[in-house]
Chains A and B, each alone.
Chain A
Amino acid sequence: QKEVEQNSGPLSVPEGAIASLNCTYSDRGSQSFFWYRQYSGKSPELIMFIYSNGDKEDGRFTAQLNKASQYVSLLIRDSQPSDSATYLCAVKRGNNRLAFGKGNQVVVIP
């Protein structure tokens, strides 16, 4: 089982719709969870982090964490063409190493 899995293929969403991204992790000792956005040819940038079960909202972004089910999700409301990017889920494991998923590409269609 991979440390961090992001299984969905490229996600195409119409402008103004909600994009939903999911991520599962294997280490139950994981404490901290992060979402990074990476534009093509650029380096990743942190957009959200969540440490406690439940929802955390920041502007158009909402991160959701369920430690019992070992998943974390990211919702992007009112999707804009500028949201077109690859979104990377990252999990700080019990050994303090940060593990990244392979990412989900989001394409927002005007």
Chain B
Amino acid sequence: KAGVTQTPRYLIKTRGQQVTLSCSPISGHRSVSWYQQTPGQGLQFLFEYFSETQRNKGNFPGRFSGRQFSNSRSEMNVSTLELGDSALYLCASSPDLSRGGELFFGEGSRLTVL
């Protein structure tokens, strides 16, 4: 079974730009979560989607948004990039909401904002 696939793996942007990251969950997994990982803050929850609906949202500004498609694939978008948005963005899938802590992570998208 293929794992969680994230694209792109690495990207460099400048302040003020926007970025879209993509995530394909494990086949059959309907829940997708996004996390930001930085050395200082660790893993921080961004949002969780299930059946194309956002079920939960972390404490991030409105510049961070996401969506999920009918095939469970998900995208997240960050607009008006700031230097502090430089981080590893991890997508994780789980079979359903009841097992929402049993996450399978992708390799991540490493974003550098200059």
Interface residues of A (CB under 8 A from B): 32-34, 36, 42-46, 49, 88, 90, 92, 95-103
Contact = CB atoms under 8 A, between A and B. Distances in A.
A43 B90 contact: yes
A45 B101 contact: no
A98 B108 contact: no
Contacts, number: 52
Of all A-B residue pairs in the complex, the 4 with the closest CB atoms, nearest first, are A43-B105, A100-B43, A102-B42, A92-B101
A49 B102 contact: yes
Interface of B is mostly: strand
Given A32-B101, A46-B103, A49-B102, A96 B55 contact: yes
B45 interface: yes
Contact of B104 (A42, A46, A96): A46
Residue of B35, B41, B44, B105 contacting most chain A CB atoms (<10 Å): B105
| Interface bracket on B | 20 to 34
Nearest to B6: A43
Contacts of B106: 43
B102 A34 contact: yes
A98 B33 contact: yes
Nearest to B58: A97
Contacts of A49: 101-102
